[in-house]
Structure 1
Amino acid sequence: MKKLVSYFVGNSFLVNLLSIMMVLFGIISLAHMKRDLISNWSSKRIQVTATLTGASASQVERFLTYPIERAIKGSAGIDKIWSNSQQGYMRINVDVKDEFEEINDLETRIKDSIETIRGDLPSETKDIVVRHIKQTDSWFNYYAILNFDQNSDLHQNWLLKIEEELERINGISRVDTYGYTKDLYIKLKVDNMARYRIAPSDIYNKIKETFRIYPLGSIRKGSDSYSIEIENLKYDIESLNNLLIRSNNSSHTLRLKDLATLEYRLPKINRTNYTNGKPGISFNIFKDVEADSITLKEMLEDKLAKINKEAPEEINIISVEDGPAFIERQINALQSNALMGIILVLITLCLFLGFKTAIMTSIGMPLAYFFTFTVLETMGISIDLISVVGMLLVIGILVDDAIIISEQYMQNLEKGASSKDAAVGAVLSTWKPICGTVATTLIAFTPILVGKDSMSNILMAIPVVVFSALLLSLFESFFILPNHLKHFVTKANAHHESSYFQRFKRGYLRLLDGALRWRYIVLAGFVVAMIGSIIFASKNINFNFNLSISSETVEFIGALKKSEGLDDSYKQLAPLEEVMNKIDKNKYNNYQFTIGQNYTNGKKQEGPQYFSYRVSFSQLDNNVEANKKDVQDYLKDQLKELEKTGKFERLEVKIAKGGNDESRENLVEVTIQSLSPFNVEEVTEYTKKAIEDLQIEGIKSVDLDDSLFKDAWVFTPKKNEIQSRGLSLGQVSSQLVQFINKNEVYEYTSGNRKIRFLTYAADGDDLTFEELGNLPVVLANGEVIKSSEIGTWKKQKKQSVIRHSNLMRKVVVDLPFDKEIVKKEVLIKKVDLLTKELSKKYPDLMFNAQDADEQSRKNKNSMIKKFAFALLGIFFVLAIVLRSIMQPLLICSAIPFGVIGVIWAFYFQGLDISLMAIIGIIGMAGVVVNDSLLLVVTINEKRRDWFSFHRPEILEGAGSRLRAIILTSITTLGGVFPMAYAIGGDSGFTKGLAMSMGWGLLFATVLTLIVLPCMLLIQRDFMVFFKRKILRKGIVEEIIEEVDEVVIVTNKLEEESVIH
């Protein structure tokens, strides 16, 4: 090591060349790196879907879902199977184990298993699809088109045109429009069809045949080639009206217009949208995974500006949710906070080490960042939210190694060493503890790097950044920094420790001396504080392990008690529109108002009585968080007044994340599972009443699963009557369905336009139960009979959706709660006590209370495991460095002590401890362990043995390392606190990380300087006690035995002498 360091200290050309090359490589890599919202990651889920047209949910479950689940359950690598069975359709999701890598092989085996039982499935089963859920594109931006008239052909044609133009932009993969388009509705004339003995299937087949392609091939005449084809009917209403259905030799023809009425129109509107009070529609833009978000945004904005200029009068496209702005905000926060951090680091270093030393020490920061860009670009990692989190995490850590070496270098100069000897000596005397400190930080993030679960895949960029930045910082500190110090800092700063620091140091040593005298009381006090803080946090602070990454909006959702339709709902909601108009328009970007749909507890609710307001904010506004809180508080105040009107069944104001409408955050669920069908209605009603009787404060409502039994109109066929009239059940079904649903018989495609051909006899939404028996059925001879003649109609309770979890039927009772009143973990414990009583009443059922957010549950378990592995790894490294078991335990105890600061900081600021906060605690652990290790190594050097080890040695060691510990802590705090408190721009998503790392480090540093020395002296007390009371006893007994033997021998000699 000495030869290597001496070589670099004496070779300035190589050192400077390496520095320049690292910067150049970094600049080139940065110029070619993709900027994105989040890194691409592969889902470990396989999905199986199939249709069984006309079958009820229970029939689909029995004849389709169960057989397929049983067929695939034995495949290796499956973690969980869960499914939904509903009217005519089923979906099975197969979650793959985290450690299982052969997903394509598993997909093939599932396909083979299904193919094996294909003959046992109903013959009507269609469209069995098995696919691995992969990320082929990602959401980019959400736009609204104001004043768009969906009934206008001009507007519809313009929309098709701009969709094509937008999809031609390089980087945009698709455009999803949320509006209604016109289709061709073919209303059958039942009487005419009966007269001419035409079945619905005759019309279906004729339409399909008309548009079918009949290729004939091509011929060649010399050098010319001729294609030969049969001309198809081109789509237009007139041609279709004249479509020939039947003709005879007498020139009698039957055309489609004789049997049906054709109308090109919109479907029945069941949802209306308004943006900033103006009607319109919206669309999402998705980009391919390779496109750069920021560059693509600039191209898209230019294109939309041109489109708006050429758009029909009054139409205007505006951005509602800006995806790239989210990453822009984080990059801006990184730039401003990094600059702020560098300034604070320089000022601190100048105050303690002098200007030249401060400059040399800080050089490692840009070198580490540029080298990190090269590593990221090589590994295919983009500049996204996760990699930015890693860069923010290491802002204050990068110069820690350099500070320790620079501080030791200054001490060597003060002792009279030459600049070269001081530089080499600084590295040689500190390289072991520095390597240990870096190793502990790297070990802390290793579980995330090597993890196989989805959370590790998403967060992988963080440890990659930490590893590359810290290892380069370590290299720079050992081989580049000493050379710079030798050439630019040749004399010791005689006054580098200011009088202020000297007074601070004397005060610290007096405080430490008093703490050492009362060490047992000090330690006991902090232990009690730690235990009390953890208990307090478990009851009063919310933990959020959801890794949802998107911009936040304020949502005002609800349901009216009564509504006659969309227009009636709009009139009733006029007071809400007035409420929205009173919000200061400078506080938000825009708001969207939807009638006919909302998402409640992560489940889609449809009907004219449901509505939602969504207020969006600009992510580039420095006051976005404050504005969001102001709008939320205002709407909550207005909610209380609106509830008094009595119009609303439900009203709720909440923070929602874009693209996460199905999120089940702030929900506790009670799951009820069984291997066989059970009385769902009875069990769920009893469970609901039992929960309500508990009267747990904070529960907003007890919501039953939407898959409960609902009213159904069931036709029971008289099979003998059907057969006697020359019909089959399939023929009866194909006729009755025309009065209930619209049947898609063909989809005509022309360019980007798709027109569905839908047939029907009557609008099923207007049908009443009493009219069912009068529905006509046409016999083969043209006679028309009533459906009541061949069957009976009755009302029954039917389950609309049947859910399975690992082949067990599953029903869920949702408990939305106010996290300001009751903590999720506390609520789960209270409800879990009830589930045990429910299990006694229904012994065949399994009851369980849990967090409704499944991904959050997985992340929580994963993070607990990673944190445990990190602690064990840190302990292992420390044990190797210190060659001790006890002292690594003392050092690791600083981590839970640091959590005390995190707990109280988050509590007083009203923040949830999020997943990013946990990452910050891991980062804090690395820094705290670094300082503690440095202090312990220094104090150990003062100890010759335990008997001569007293307070003076500890005071001397702590005092000698006070400046280095204070410097590393201040520089780290200077890097994270500007981010935590938006000094350099609000960091939003990463605020929790900065807050936990900053306050945890601040508190843990105090503990390192005060409590750790006390624990070392307590260790000395026990070691001395052990040696004096235990080991000493053994030594004394041996001496006594030896003395006794000597006495015996002497007595014998004296006796022999007397005899002689």
Structure 2
Amino acid sequence: MRKITKYFIDNSFIVNLLSVMMLLIGAISLVHMKRDLISGWSAKRITVSTSLSGAGPAQMEKFVTYPIEQAIKNLPGIDKIRSNSRTASTSITVEVKDEYDDILELEQKIKDAVNNIRSTLPSDLDEINIQQTKMTESWFSNYSLLNFNEEDQNHQRWFYKFKERLKNIQGVARIQDDVREYGIHIRFNLESLARYEIDINTVYSIVQESFRLFPIGNISKGSKDYLVEFETNEVTVEDIGNIILRSTTSKKTLLLRDIATIEKKLPKKTYKEYTNSSPSLSFTIFKDMDTDTISLKENIEKFIEEERANLPQGVEMLLTGDGPAFIERQINALKSNSIFGVILVILTLMSFLGFKTSLMTSFGLPLSYMFTFFILENMGLKIDLISIVGMLLVLGIIVDDAIIISEQYTQNLEKGMKPKEAALEAVLKTWMPITGAVLTTVVAFLPLLMSGDGLSDIMMAIPVVVISALGVSLLESFFILPNHLAHFVKVAPKHHESNFFHKLKDIYMKTLKQVLRFRYLALVSLVSLFGFSIFFAQKNIPMNFNLNISSEKIRVVTVLKHSESLEDSEKQLAPLWKELSEIDKDKFDYINMAIGYVWESGKSKNGPQYGSFTVRFSQLDDNIEANKKYVEDLIKERIKKYTADPKDSIFERIEVGRRYDGHDDDQSNIVNINLSSSAPFDINEVSSKIKKKLSSYDQITSIDLDNSDFIDTWTFKPNKAEILSHGLSIRAVANQVRTFVAKTKVYENNSGPQTLKVYAYSEEGDNQTIETLKNKHIILSNGLKIKTKDLGTWEVIRRQKSIGHENLKRIVRLKVALKKDVADKEKLIHNFENDIKSIESEYSYLTITTKDADEQAQKNKSSMFKNVLFAVGLIVFILAIILRSIVTPFIICSAIPFGLIGIIWAFYFQGLKLDIMAFIGVIAMAGVVVNDSLLLVDTVNSSRGKKKYIDLETLLTDCAKRLRPILLTSITTLGGVFPMAYGIGGDSGFTKPLAMSMGWGLLFATGLTLLILPAYLLIFDDIKKLFSRKKDKQLGDTEIEDENLDQEWPEFEHQTSIPKNKKANTTELFQ
């Protein structure tokens, strides 16, 4: 260490060249790095999906879902298999164990297993898609088209061309829109079918055959080539109508238009939207993960501005969701807060170290950051919210090692050493504790980097930034800083401690004396406070482990008691829409009303009774948080009259709350009671018993079997003998009945920008009842007709709309909604389990489990607690290696619970939730707070020398010596995070809890470290003395006199330097 440090001190050219190169390559990397919300990620999840037109949920389960589940259930690496069988489709999700890394191999094994059973699955099953869940694109922005008329061909043509031009912008991955597409609809005339004695299956086959491609080939003759091909029909109403179904030798033909009406029209509208009081339709832009978000925003804004001139008359285009603006707002706020942090750090250094020394010390900031950019770019990471959080997190920590070396360098100059010698000795004396201090912070973040779960994938940039920046800072402090100090700070700056600092030191020493005198009372009090704080936090501080990194909106969800149609719902909602539209428009960006659907609890609920109102806010509004509160409070006040009398209210339910974009399925206050069984059971009976058991809990707002999961099924039970006797097949009957219920897609043309689909049907399904279906006619091959009720029986059966599986068992969920202020959700879940356990024993094959509905949040919670525990364990391990002691690392780590006390009460009094970012702040705090304790213990150990016990006067002197550097390192760290915590440079959004936990934890821990840690050292000495006395008694020796208890408490005199007769020793502690 001596040789390499001396080499860099003596070679300024090498040092300066290295510094310039690090800054240069960092700057180049920074220019080329892309900006985004978060980096791309891939989940440990594989999905299997397919569809089968016309199949019901039970049929999909029996013939598709269950066989696939059986085929893959024993593959290695699978944690859970979940599936959802719905009408005409099924989706199977395979969750992979965290420790299983070869996802691609498992994906291939699933494909092989499915291919092996493909011949046993229905022959007309669509392609089976198997793929790993990856983030290949991300939401970018939303636009609304006001007064857009889907039935106007000019509007349609403009929109198709507009989409094509928009897709051509580099970086645009996909455009999703709500504009209905025209299709060609073939409506059969049953009388004509009977008259011409032609069945529907034959018609389907002929229509599909008409559009089929028949490749022939090509012929080469000499220098010429000739292509031979069969011409196919064009997809137009006229061409489809002219399809020949039958032809005789006398040239008489039966055309499709002879038995059906063919027209081009829009599908039925199932929902309505209004934006700022105008009817609207929306489209969403998704970007690929490799494009710079801010650059893409500029390109799209320029394109949209040019397109406004081409809008059809009366149509307006309104930006209703600005993803880049949210990113810009967050990044700008973080930048502003970081600037304030840098200013505070530099001012703090100047006030303690002087101008030149502080300038040399702060040089590590740009050097560390720039080289970190180089590392990030080469690891494929971006400048996003996560990486910037890491940079802010280390802002005040980076200079800690430089501060310690600068302080030691100054003391060496005061002793009369020459600059180069002073710089060399400063490094040699402090490199071991500095390395230990840096390592404790580095290992604190290793679990977050190496845990391998989904959360670590998203958060990877934070530990990478922290480890990289601290590593570069450590090297800069050992090899670059000493050279700069030796050449630019040749005279020790004069210490002019202010009267304030003198008074502070006096207060500290008086307080410390009292704490040491009553050290056991202090120990008991602090342990009691810690235990009470943990207990209090569990009861009163809510936790949220969802990672919400997106803009926030206010949403009103409405469910009407009765509604016959969209028009009926619109009429009922008109008074509320009018009131919401009258809110001061300066307070928000726009307001939207949607009728006919709502996205809740992870799924879409459709029907005219469902509606929602969404209020969005401009991300460029400096008063965005105040305006959100104003609008939310106003809406809550205005809807009171609609819920005052539930009996007279038109609403079955109306709720107001905040939601994040992409998180409308928030389930943070939902508990799922899962009923799984391999045999049938009465769902309503079991749910009634569960509701009765849980009726006494006042924290519960509702317990529901979601009615949207069940549907009245009109089930036809065919009489096979009767069907066969008429020359029919069950398939033929089913296909004819289907024409009364749904439209069958017989062809899809994708040859142009517009996808044109061809549908066939006999009647609109919306007009049917079970009685009309009983009397519908089936056409026989001879042209005669017979009613469906003569070929079988119709029954109404209540069945699941979708059938869920978990690990191959059917599962039904009861959703228990809790009040928003419930803090101890886990205890409630445990109580629920105990209360309903007896119900399970009443049913042979029934299993009842109670789980948090927000499973991802639970996984994140488990991951964060595991990371915190591993971080503390690694910190203790590193300290044990450095100190060569088992007990002392635990004494040093007592600073961590000190910090937790401060975090708990800071969050409680400020009304904050403990979330993922708060726990990352806890990890950072744990890695940092032990540094001051380590340095204090190292100083005490050095002063003690080879003495068996600590001398009280020396302990007080050492604490006084360490007060200044401990305060300096703590203040610089606090200066780096508190601007972000309190949004001095702009609201820091989702990063605020991180800054809060780190800041308040460090602040509280620093105070208690200075007071309680010395008491712990004396208590440890007391314990050693106690055991020593017992040992001496056993040996018959005289008792050892208690030096500390009998000595007089010394008067403290201010000291600003380490006594010359004391030599540091970092490897000998309390042996």
Determine if the TM-score, normalized by the shorter chain, exceeds 0.5.
yes
Residue 803 of structure 2: SS of its match in structure 1?
A: strand
2:985 equivalent to 1:984: yes
How many residues are treated as equivalent by the alignment? 1037
Contact 2:516 2:1015 in 1 (8 A): yes
Contact 1:835 1:848 in 2 (8 A): no
| Aligned residue number for residue 31 of structure 2 | 31
Contact 1:875 1:888 in 2 (8 A): yes
| Aligned residue number for residue 959 of structure 1 | 960
| Aligned residue number for residue 1067 of structure 2 | none
Deviations 1:286-322 (A, max 9, x none): 1122111111111011001111121112222222222
2:140 equivalent to 1:135: no
Equivalent position amino acid for 2:652 in 1: E
| Aligned residue number for residue 736 of structure 2 | 735
Deviation at 1:722, TM superposition (A): 0.6
Residue 187 of structure 2: SS of its match in structure 1?
A: strand
Map 1:951-1030 to 2 at 5 A.
Answer: 951-1030=952-1031
Equivalent position amino acid for 2:960 in 1: G
Map 1:392-407 to 2 at 5 A.
Answer: 392-407=392-407
Equivalent position amino acid for 1:245 in 2: L
| Aligned residue number for residue 887 of structure 2 | 886
Range that drifts further, 142-151 or 630-639? 630-639
Map 1:335-350 to 2 at 5 A.
Answer: 335-350=335-350
Deviations 1:532-555 (A, max 9, x none): 111011011111111232222111
Contact 2:1033 2:1039 in 1 (8 A): no
| Aligned residue number for residue 856 of structure 2 | 855
Range that drifts further, 700-709 or 980-989? 700-709
Residue 609 of structure 2: SS of its match in structure 1?
A: strand
Equivalent position amino acid for 1:694 in 2: S
| Aligned residue number for residue 363 of structure 1 | 363
| Aligned residue number for residue 619 of structure 1 | 619
2:786 equivalent to 1:785: yes
Range that drifts further, 935-944 or 959-968? 935-944
d(CA) in 2 for partners of 1:747, 1:95? 34
Range that drifts further, 442-451 or 668-677? 668-677
| Aligned residue number for residue 387 of structure 2 | 387
Deviations 1:632-659 (A, max 9, x none): 2222222322213611101111221212
d(CA) in 1 for partners of 2:801, 2:566? 25
Deviation at 1:787, TM superposition (A): 0.8
Range that drifts further, 632-641 or 393-402? 632-641
d(CA) in 1 for partners of 2:599, 2:136? 26
Deviation at 1:896, TM superposition (A): 1.8
2:78 equivalent to 1:75: no
d(CA) in 2 for partners of 1:708, 1:172? 36
| Gap change, CA 1:804 and 1:1034, over 3 Å in 2 | farther
Map 1:14-413 to 2 at 5 A.
Answer: 14-220=14-220, 223-413=223-413
Deviations 1:567-623 (A, max 9, x none): 111121122213322333222222221100112333321111100112222233333
| Aligned residue number for residue 670 of structure 1 | 673
| Aligned residue number for residue 697 of structure 2 | 695
d(CA) in 2 for partners of 1:527, 1:867? 20
| Gap change, CA 1:225 and 1:576, over 3 Å in 2 | same
Contact 1:835 1:849 in 2 (8 A): no
Range that drifts further, 986-995 or 80-89? 80-89
d(CA) in 2 for partners of 1:953, 1:197? 111
Contact 2:693 2:836 in 1 (8 A): no
Map 1:628-777 to 2 at 5 A.
Answer: 628-644=628-644, 646-691=649-694, 693-697=695-699, 699-706=700-707, 709-777=710-778
Residue 497 of structure 2: SS of its match in structure 1?
A: coil
Residue 700 of structure 1: SS of its match in structure 2?
A: strand
| Gap change, CA 1:1038 and 1:317, over 3 Å in 2 | closer
Range that drifts further, 200-209 or 350-359? 200-209
| Aligned residue number for residue 826 of structure 2 | 825
Identical pairs, percent: 50
Equivalent position amino acid for 1:930 in 2: N
d(CA) in 1 for partners of 2:65, 2:1036? 77
| Aligned residue number for residue 949 of structure 1 | 950
| Gap change, CA 1:835 and 1:366, over 3 Å in 2 | farther
- Structure 1: 5+ residue stretches without partners: 1040-1060
Equivalent position amino acid for 1:475 in 2: L
Contact 2:674 2:849 in 1 (8 A): yes
| Gap change, CA 1:186 and 1:909, over 3 Å in 2 | same
Contact 2:48 2:91 in 1 (8 A): yes
Range that drifts further, 829-838 or 470-479? 829-838
| Gap change, CA 1:1030 and 1:295, over 3 Å in 2 | same
d(CA) in 1 for partners of 2:845, 2:208? 52
Contact 1:85 1:803 in 2 (8 A): yes
Deviation at 1:342, TM superposition (A): 1.1
Residue 715 of structure 1: SS of its match in structure 2?
A: strand
Deviations 1:263-287 (A, max 9, x none): 2111111111112222111111111
Deviations 1:962-995 (A, max 9, x none): 1111111111111111111110111112111111
2:913 equivalent to 1:912: yes
Contact 1:680 1:708 in 2 (8 A): no
| Aligned residue number for residue 1042 of structure 1 | none
Contact 1:353 1:496 in 2 (8 A): no
Deviation at 1:1038, TM superposition (A): 14
Contact 1:444 1:870 in 2 (8 A): yes
Equivalent position amino acid for 2:597 in 1: Q
d(CA) in 2 for partners of 1:578, 1:95? 46
| Gap change, CA 1:214 and 1:117, over 3 Å in 2 | closer
| Gap change, CA 1:1038 and 1:580, over 3 Å in 2 | closer
Equivalent position amino acid for 2:851 in 1: Q
How well do the aligned residues superpose, as a CA RMSD in angstroms?
1.9
| Aligned residue number for residue 1052 of structure 2 | none
- Structure 2: 5+ residue stretches without partners: 1041-1071
d(CA) in 1 for partners of 2:65, 2:152? 43
d(CA) in 2 for partners of 1:1038, 1:983? 61
| TM-score in terms of structure 1 length | 0.95
Deviation at 1:470, TM superposition (A): 0.2
Contact 1:410 1:492 in 2 (8 A): yes
Contact 1:555 1:654 in 2 (8 A): yes
Equivalent position amino acid for 1:678 in 2: F
Contact 2:56 2:86 in 1 (8 A): yes
| Aligned residue number for residue 941 of structure 2 | 940
Contact 1:562 1:609 in 2 (8 A): yes
Equivalent position amino acid for 1:681 in 2: N
Deviation at 1:122, TM superposition (A): 4.2
Equivalent position amino acid for 2:382 in 1: S
Deviation at 1:160, TM superposition (A): 0.7
Residue 884 of structure 1: SS of its match in structure 2?
A: coil
Residue 608 of structure 2: SS of its match in structure 1?
A: strand
Deviation at 1:881, TM superposition (A): 1.2
Contact 1:950 1:1017 in 2 (8 A): no
Equivalent position amino acid for 1:650 in 2: R
d(CA) in 1 for partners of 2:252, 2:124? 37
d(CA) in 1 for partners of 2:965, 2:207? 84
Deviations 1:751-774 (A, max 9, x none): 110111111111111111221211
Deviations 1:63-83 (A, max 9, x none): 332222122111111111111
Range that drifts further, 931-940 or 127-136? 127-136
d(CA) in 2 for partners of 1:270, 1:890? 66
Equivalent position amino acid for 2:887 in 1: M
Contact 2:333 2:988 in 1 (8 A): yes
| TM-score in terms of structure 2 length | 0.94
| Gap change, CA 1:263 and 1:810, over 3 Å in 2 | same
Equivalent position amino acid for 2:623 in 1: N
Range that drifts further, 229-238 or 549-558? 229-238
Residue 573 of structure 1: SS of its match in structure 2?
A: helix
d(CA) in 1 for partners of 2:1022, 2:579? 69
Deviation at 1:847, TM superposition (A): 2.1
Contact 1:946 1:1024 in 2 (8 A): no
Residue 556 of structure 2: SS of its match in structure 1?
A: strand
